[in-house]
Amino acid sequence: MPSASCHPASSPRERAKTLILRTLGVRRIADWCGVGEAAVYQWLSRGTDEEPIPPERVLKIIEGARAESLDAPLEVLWPAGASTLAVRA
């Protein structure tokens, strides 16, 4: 039986999906963004590795998470934006 270390690292999209499903919660994100839970599930299924979550929703998610003392890293929710901001800094 292969060990866990043999598995490749998860994609950026999968990391965002895991963060939302296991830590932040679909219902919370829907409330923070003013959308239905179905919209959040659509983001998770349609997102890309560069933009797993629609960029226009990322700030609301980060703000909501901070208000509830939850960790929502920009580099997980929006890898393309995080790398762009890091280059500009």
Each of the 89 residues of the chain gets a pLDDT tens digit; together they read 444 445 455 899 999 999 999 999 999 999 999 999 999 999 999 999 999 999 999 999 999 999 999 999 999 999 888 766 655 55
Asked if 78 and 55 count as a contact pair (C-beta separation under 8 A), the reply is: yes
pLDDT of residue 81: 83
**How many Å apart are CA 47 and CA 88, to the nearest integer?**
24
Q: Which of 55, 51, 59 is nearest to 11 (CA)?
A: 51
pLDDT of residue 3: 45
Q: Which of 67, 68, 52 is nearest to 20 (CA)?
A: 52
Domain boundaries, the chain: 20-88
Asked if 20 and 78 count as a contact pair (C-beta separation under 8 A), the reply is: no
